[in-house]
């Protein structure tokens, strides 16, 4: 008996909960993903090479300017639009989605996040000038921004000042440091780098957010890149040695990043979006495989076995649980969340990252040996999904640690002595 092909579900489940504009943006990402990105993903994964063709398609489609205001030539999207578009891209190429997220996040910090800060008239005027400069680069020149935060230590988890240091000089700063797992290393035109102002007794409040030109003297990319998953992000080490960066490169006013991060913690949650897409992709694959609908494979159905049906039911439940939390955090994120809202955000982030890995694991077991072949995308989804829970600043362990403490302590409270 032939099985009639079934259309794939919308990344939001029910597209009706989105605005018309959000649906159009997701449709644009879906078209790029289905017609171009999915077919390229396997080669770039195998080679651990960045998909430059995908970058050109994102540029030509206007999606590099997703979070640039419409009056500056962008698409005028915000946090919710970024989350939805990155999740849809993640269905087709997780590495492209994660790389796109890094670029779009830099434009969010530069724009909506900065606009929400209480700046002086001088700071506001300076910020407007810098926004115009960086938006021009993204929209008119098609420049790509990376966001290499991680240094492999406490700073990456928000517990210490950044080890990368910026020393004030005439007209700008001299920046020295090293960033690890620097997604888009060697490909981006600018690196949105977090560093610490070189002053006595510097603390996390003395952070600077600078767009370092990739071609500036003193910038180098080093190290091999041969990881388990997310191979096409090409996240090698970024080394900065006395790199001169002009004042105009600031993405936020000097010393304001700490305040911005405290007021907008949901920006740390953007990393979950590609993994929401990977979870959806693994579920899609499993359903198509069991229904005999995979392109290029014989139309053999395997859906009649009760064990397969039960496994898919479990996957469906896990997926919808993660989607509900993902959409709640994406569509309702606001500055200055209270303790309960922050806990919901961290719970959603943890759930998406862990669920993506769990669904991919169950998909491999359910589809069987054929699903492990590199000619099919499921084994790549499985490997990519394993990386989510390791990503700073909200690894799975850090999310649990912050959640548990937040549930049991008020901000000003300390620990009691443990009875022995």
- pLDDT-derived band at 415 (thresholds 50, 70, 90) equals confident
pLDDT at res. 297? 80
What gap in Å lies between CA 3 and CA 307, rounded to an integer?
20
What gap in Å lies between CA 273 and CA 330, rounded to an integer?
9
DSSP string covering 213-229, please?
ETTSTTEEEES----SS
CA-nearest of 43, 91, 45, 88 to 63 is 88
The H-assigned helical ranges of 264-305 are: 272-291
Residue percentage of the chain with pLDDT more than 70? 98
CB environment 262-289: b (16+ within 10 A), e (fewer)? ebbbbbbbbbbbbbbbbbbbbbbbbbbb
In terms of average pLDDT, the best of 2-11, 152-161, 321-330, 391-400 is 321-330
pLDDT at res. 209? 96
Reported as a single tens digit per residue, the pLDDT across 65-93 is: 999 999 999 999 999 999 999 999 999 99
pLDDT at res. 420? 66
Q: Is residue 216 scored above 60 in pLDDT? A: yes
What gap in Å lies between CA 386 and CA 383, rounded to an integer?
5
What gap in Å lies between CA 364 and CA 379, rounded to an integer?
8
- HSE-CB for 310 with a 13 A CA cutoff: 4
pLDDT at res. 5? 73
pLDDT at res. 110? 95
pLDDT at res. 316? 98
Q: Is 180 helix (H, G, I), strand (E, B) or coil?
A: strand
pLDDT at res. 416? 84
Whole-number mean pLDDT of the chain?
94
Reported as a single tens digit per residue, the pLDDT across 362-389 is: 999 999 988 889 989 999 999 999 999 9
Handedness of CA 324, 330, 334, 337 (dihedral sign): positive
Q: Is residue 3 scored above 70 in pLDDT? A: no
Reported as a single tens digit per residue, the pLDDT across 320-344 is: 999 999 999 999 999 999 999 999 9
pLDDT at res. 224? 94
Reported as a single tens digit per residue, the pLDDT across 25-65 is: 999 999 999 999 999 999 999 999 999 999 999 999 999 99
pLDDT at res. 261? 94
């Amino acid at each position: 008996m032939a099985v009639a092909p079934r259309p794939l579900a919308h990344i939001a489940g029910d597209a009706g909960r989105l605005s018309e504009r959000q649906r159009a943006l997701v449709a644009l990402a879906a078209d790029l993903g289905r017609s171009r990105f999915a077919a390229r993903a396997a080669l770039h994964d195998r080679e651990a090479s960045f998909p430059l063709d995908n970058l050109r398609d994102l540029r030509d489609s206007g999606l590099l300017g997703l979070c640039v205001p419409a009056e500056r030539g962008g698409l005028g999207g915000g946090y919710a639009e970024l989350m939805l578009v990155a999740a849809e891209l993640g269905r087709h190429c997780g590495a492209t989605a994660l790389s796109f997220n890094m670029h779009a996040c830099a434009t969010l910090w530069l724009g909506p996040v900065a606009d929400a800060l209480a700046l002086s008239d001088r700071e506001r005027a300076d910020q407007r000038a810098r926004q115009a400069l960086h938006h021009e680069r993204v929209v008119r020149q098609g420049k790509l921004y990376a966001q290499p935060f991680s240094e492999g230590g406490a700073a990456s988890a928000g517990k210490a000042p950044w080890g990368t240091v910026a020393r004030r000089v005439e007209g700008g700063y001299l920046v020295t440091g090293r960033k690890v797992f620097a997604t888009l290393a060697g490909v981006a035109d600018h690196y949105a780098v977090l560093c610490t102002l070189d002053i006595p007794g510097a603390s996390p409040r003395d952070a600077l957010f600078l767009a370092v030109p990739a071609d500036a003297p003193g910038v180098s990319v080093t190290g091999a890149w041969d990881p388990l998953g997310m191979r096409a992000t090409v996240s090698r080490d970024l080394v900065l040695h006395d790199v001169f960066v002009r004042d105009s490169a600031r993405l936020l006013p000097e010393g304001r990043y700490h305040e911005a991060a405290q007021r907008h913690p949901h920006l740390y949650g953007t990393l979950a979006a590609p993994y929401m897409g990977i979870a959806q992709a693994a579920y899609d694959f499993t359903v198509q495989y069991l229904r005999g609908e995979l392109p290029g494979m014989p139309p053999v159905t395997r859906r009649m076995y009760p064990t397969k049906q039960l496994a898919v039911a479990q996957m469906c439940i896990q997926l919808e649980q993660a989607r509900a939390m993902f959409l709640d955090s994406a569509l309702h994120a606001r500055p200055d969340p209270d303790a309960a809202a922050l806990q919901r955000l961290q719970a959603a982030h943890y759930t998406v990252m862990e669920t993506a890995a769990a669904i991919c694991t169950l998909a491999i077991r359910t589809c069987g040996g054929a699903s492990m072949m590199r000619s099919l995308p499921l084994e790549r989804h499985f490997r990519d999904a394993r990386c989510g829970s390791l990503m700073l600043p909200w690894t799975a362990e850090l999310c649990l640690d912050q959640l548990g403490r937040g549930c049991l302590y008020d901000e000003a409270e300390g620990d009691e002595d443990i009875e022995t």
